[in-house]
Structure formats: structure tokens, C-alpha cells
Copies of this chain bind each other. A is one copy, B any other.
Amino acid sequence: MSLSHALLGLLAVAPASGYELTKEFEQEIGRYAWQAGHTSIYPELGKLAARGLVHVTHEGARGAKTYDVTDEGREELRSWLLQPPNPTATVRNEQVLRMFLLSALEPADQRLMLTRIAEHTGRAATELRAVVATETPGGGPRAGFGRLAGEFGIRQYEAVHEWALWALDHIAEDGQA
């Protein structure tokens, strides 16, 4: 299960509370890599603590608990991250699924959908490029993290943008690509 490793990884970069981790999952990590809500995060932190991979470093106001990774947790994370790319790893992307099912539509609808995708990803790439450019070097505890994610996102949007333009160019009148 990858949620445990996602939490381990985020905590390895900087200790945090369940609440802060939840907000993290609403950012880039949730948009490109893995989604999770607080109702799965809190119990999972409890399980990780029970397994000795994380521990509570201190309790703050309003019952807030700050978690940090233990040496054992760091070892577990490292061995998971350094695994060779495995071809059966979990993949689930609703947007990409929509693109793949394009062939099920009539030609006119195909063009409509591809045009929308091209516009949307083109705009998203431009916006993200602007955001990344204005980000101050240095910054918070996860600054490097955001930079890496930003550059990934830009390339991701550009790739889909180029694909949509290619597809628009290559679907014939009868809709066969």
C-alpha cells in the first residue's frame, strides 16, 4: 500500500501533524501522484506509529500531534523508493481514461473533446510556468519539493497538449485515428 509510503516520505522531508499532511495532499501530490483525505491519513499514522516507523515528537495546542520518522521508518522508505520501476504499479487516472475512450465518440464530439483538452492543458502549462518562475529560491521546508513538482507538472501538461494537437491533426473525417 502506497499511502503509508507517501506519509513516510512527507514526514522524512519535514515532521508534521496529520492536519498538515492532509493539506499537503490537496496540493501537487494529490493532483499528480496520490490522493488521500484526513479520514485515511489519521488511522494510517496510528498504524505507522504502532509499527515503529514514525513517532509523535510532541503534542501542541488543540490536541495537535507532530509526527517524525524513526530510523526504521527511514530505512523502510529508502528501500521502497530505490526499488526498480515496476510495471504493475498502481495507476488510476480518470482524466487519462477519458482521453483513451475518445474513440467511442462520434468524430464531431472527438474534435470537441480534443479541442477542450488542448486549450485546457495549454492554459494550465502557461499558468504553472508563471507560478514556478515567481517562486523564491530557498523558501519553506518543502521548497525543493514544490519546484520538482512544478517542473513535473509543466512537462505533463505540455505532453498532453502536444498529444491533443497531434490527435486533432490525425483523426480523419470518419473518426479513425
Contact = CB atoms under 8 A, between A and B. Distances in A.
Contacts of A93: 32-34, 89-93
Nearest to A141: B103
Interface stretch (A49-57, A60-68, A110-118): A110-118
Contacts of A173: none
Chain copies in complex: 2
A134 interface: no
Interface in A1-55: 2, 5-6, 8-10, 12-13, 28-35
17 contacts: A2-B97, A9-B100, A29-B100, A33-B96, A35-B91, A35-B92, A81-B102, A81-B104, A81-B109, A82-B113, A84-B116, A89-B93, A90-B94, A91-B94, A92-B93, A103-B145, A144-B175
Interface of A: 2, 5-6, 8-10, 12-13, 28-35, 77-78, 80-82, 84-85, 87, 89-105, 109, 112-113, 116-117, 120, 142-145, 147-149, 151-152, 155-156, 158-160, 162-163, 166-167, 170-171, 175-177
